């Protein structure tokens, strides 16, 4: 069972009432069931207006507060659905539970774990009193925050608690998202884009499937991907294509408009352009593939969502196969073969490709055994193969597990994390043997700039977010190669370079640990 989806209204001293109003609209757009209010917002002089807006919205309201705030919260906002009481030390909460008992208030305690927290005594207290009411929250490590914990330290704490206090399950508050301290408060992770820049429609449509395609500077491949989708042996009025342009600069919109004028395709299609934020000096561009997929899902009309990359060609019987798969399964992925770069043109079709000469499996030591395995769920840690090059899931299941986490603004693990949560929900996974074709760009055009080391370094950051978001010690152990190196930037770079060279000196082929 999954928890109700939750959206947090985060406090910032410079926010205005209009900013929080947009936050409420974003929560509704994201189809959240619970809106979590940071009680620090009560510092604003317009707090009464904010409370009025919250009471008028259609969502359940949870309040995030400190233990000392509980009496005030109960006085000012007694109709709160639930209190989420964040604490770091046992002395902060010992008197609060008595107050809550007299008020019969639904509540949970969340331990904000830091270097000074007495984990042993806290775990002992909760294991004896109410082990089901404690959850855990660990921020990502920051050298600027001396109280923050390194990932390996968090793993040791989890092992200590689970060994000595088995009544307590170390897990995050259901529905909550880890907030990366390194993410700028100015970064918009949930755009309110509802009006498409381009729209095509077929009369009398009843959408069953929604293709969601994030794209960035891939205009030539994209038009070929669209052409293949529109050739499906399936009624045009029953599926739609939603394209989210992640701030591309190659003129994708103009190219798409030209394609529509010349080819006059029939189908349901919507194209949204989401501008990139201005990158400040020494900042890295934000990786928003997961966020683009969230935006597409927010706008989707179909019962089933198909997350497809902008360089994947689907066969004509793809939707017929998928429709059949959904009668017995919940999460469906497809075999992927890469087309050689010299054959990957804007006009190549699946029929033009010679399977024996023109195709290969990228990272074959990793993906090859997976593609050949008769039953995906029988593979150890099978959820780690979840990859959104071509992944289909029911819309309701996608929203029920919280969509793609917004903390993933660097490359990697956002889809593995989604697969893990779908697995924890108890859904049935299936790998269809129908082959999709991956158009292959030059390596220099890929996200990691053609550098396996850069890719390894990027994954080392998002692997930690994956672990800290779920607090499953098995995730830490399985991806331990990515979990170290939390020190200053220069030392961190040398640490991972050493691990990377050591691993690749043992394996001449691409590492199995590189999961994308």
What's the 3-state SS for 49-114? HHHHHHHHCCCEEEEEECHHHHHHHHHHCCCCCEEEEEECCHHHCCCHHHHHHHHCCCEEEEEECC
Q: What is the pLDDT of residue 175?
A: 87
* List of residues 6+ apart from 480 with CB closer than 8 A: none
> Residues 101, 74: contact at Cβ < 8 Å?
no
Mean pLDDT, rounded, of the chain:
89
Lowest-pLDDT range of 18-32, 146-160, 435-449: 435-449
Q: What is the pLDDT of residue 498?
A: 60
CA 468 – CA 384 distance, rounded (Å): 16
Q: Where are the alpha helices (DSSP H) in 130-209?
A: 151-164
CA 180 – CA 358 distance, rounded (Å): 42
- Other CB atoms closer than 10 Å to residue 305's CB: what's the count? 24
- Phi, psi angles (nearest 5°) of residue 287: -90, 115
User: Binning pLDDT at 50, 70 and 90, where does residue 187 land?
Assistant: confident
Looking at the DSSP assignment, which residues form a beta bridge with residue 392?
A: 306, 332
pLDDT > 90 in the chain, percent: 72
Q: What is the pLDDT of residue 511?
A: 37
What average pLDDT does range 196-214 have in this prediction?
94
Whether the model pTM is above 0.85: yes
What average pLDDT does range 35-47 have in this prediction?
95
User: Binning pLDDT at 50, 70 and 90, where does residue 377 land?
Assistant: very high
Q: Distance of alpha carbon 209 from its chain centroid, rounded? A: 21
DSSP string, 156-178: HHHHHHHHH-TT----PPTT---
- How far apart are the two ends of the chain, measured CA to CA in Å? 28
pLDDT > 70 in the chain, percent: 90
Q: What is the pLDDT of residue 466?
A: 96
> b/e string for 76-112 if b means 16 or more Cβ within 10 A?
ebeebbbbbbbbbbbeebeebbeebeeeebebbbbbe
- Other CB atoms closer than 10 Å to residue 26's CB: what's the count? 18
270 secondary structure, DSSP code? E
Checking if the pLDDT of 2 tops 60, the result is no
> Residues 229, 190: contact at Cβ < 8 Å?
no
Q: What is the pLDDT of residue 488?
A: 52
| Residue 362 DSSP SS3 | coil
CA 406 – CA 414 distance, rounded (Å): 9
- Helices 47-56 and 17-29, axial angle in degrees (round to 10): 20
């Amino acid at each position: 069972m999954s928890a109700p989806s939750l959206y947090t209204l985060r406090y910032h001293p410079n926010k205005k009432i209009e900013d929080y109003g947009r936050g409420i609209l974003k929560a509704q757009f994201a189809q959240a069931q619970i809106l979590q209010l940071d009680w620090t917002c009560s510092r604003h002089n317009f707090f009464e207006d904010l409370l009025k807006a919250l009471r008028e919205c259609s969502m359940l309201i949870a309040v995030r507060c400190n233990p000392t705030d509980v009496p005030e919260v109960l006085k000012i906002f007694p109709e709160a659905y639930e209190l989420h009481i964040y604490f770091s030390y046992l002395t902060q909460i010992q008197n609060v539970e008595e107050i809550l008992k007299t008020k019969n208030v639904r509540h949970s305690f969340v331990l904000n774990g830091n270097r000074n927290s007495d984990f042993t005594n806290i775990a002992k207290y909760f294991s004896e009193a109410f082990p089901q009411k404690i959850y855990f929250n660990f921020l990502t490590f920051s050298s600027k925050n001396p109280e923050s914990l390194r990932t390996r330290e968090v793993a040791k704490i989890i092992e200590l608690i689970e060994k000595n206090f088995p009544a307590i399950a170390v897990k995050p508050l259901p529905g909550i998202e880890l907030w990366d301290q390194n993410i700028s408060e100015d970064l918009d992770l949930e755009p309110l884009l509802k009006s498409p820049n381009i729209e095509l429609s077929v009369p009398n449509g009843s959408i069953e499937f929604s293709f969601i395609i994030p794209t960035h500077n891939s205009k030539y491949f994209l038009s070929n991907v669209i052409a293949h989708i529109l050739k499906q042996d399936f009624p045009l009025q029953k599926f739609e294509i939603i394209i989210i342009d992640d701030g591309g600069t190659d003129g994708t919109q103009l190219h798409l408009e030209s394609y529509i004028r010349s080819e006059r395709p029939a189908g349901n299609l919507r194209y949204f352009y989401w501008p990139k934020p201005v990158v400040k000096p020494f900042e890295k561009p934000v990786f928003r593939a997961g966020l683009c997929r969230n935006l597409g899902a927010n706008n989707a009309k179909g019962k089933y969502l198909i997350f497809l990359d902008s360089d994947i060609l689907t066969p004509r019987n793809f939707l017929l196969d998928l429709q059949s798969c959904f009668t017995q399964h919940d999460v469906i992925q497809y075999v992927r073969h890469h087309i050689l770069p010299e054959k990957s043109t804007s006009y190549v079709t699946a029929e033009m490709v010679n399977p024996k000469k023109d195709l290969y499996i990228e990272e074959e030591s990793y993906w090859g055994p997976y593609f050949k395995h008769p039953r995906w769920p029988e593979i150890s840690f099978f959820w780690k193969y979840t990859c959104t090059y071509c992944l289909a899931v029911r819309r309701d299941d996608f929203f029920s597990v919280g969509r793609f986490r917004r903390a993933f603004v660097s490359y990697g693990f956002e889809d593995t994390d989604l697969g893990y949560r779908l697995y924890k929900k108890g859904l049935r996974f299936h790998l269809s043997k129908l082959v999709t074709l991956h158009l292959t760009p030059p390596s220099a055009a890929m996200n990691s700039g053609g550098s396996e080391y850069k890719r390894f370094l990027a994954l080392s950051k998002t692997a930690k977010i994956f672990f800290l978001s779920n607090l499953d010690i098995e995730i830490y152990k399985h991806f331990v190669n990515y979990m170290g190196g939390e020190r200053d930037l220069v030392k961190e770079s040398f640490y991972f370079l050493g691990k990377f060279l050591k691993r690749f000196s043992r394996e001449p082929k691409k590492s199995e640990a590189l999961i994308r």
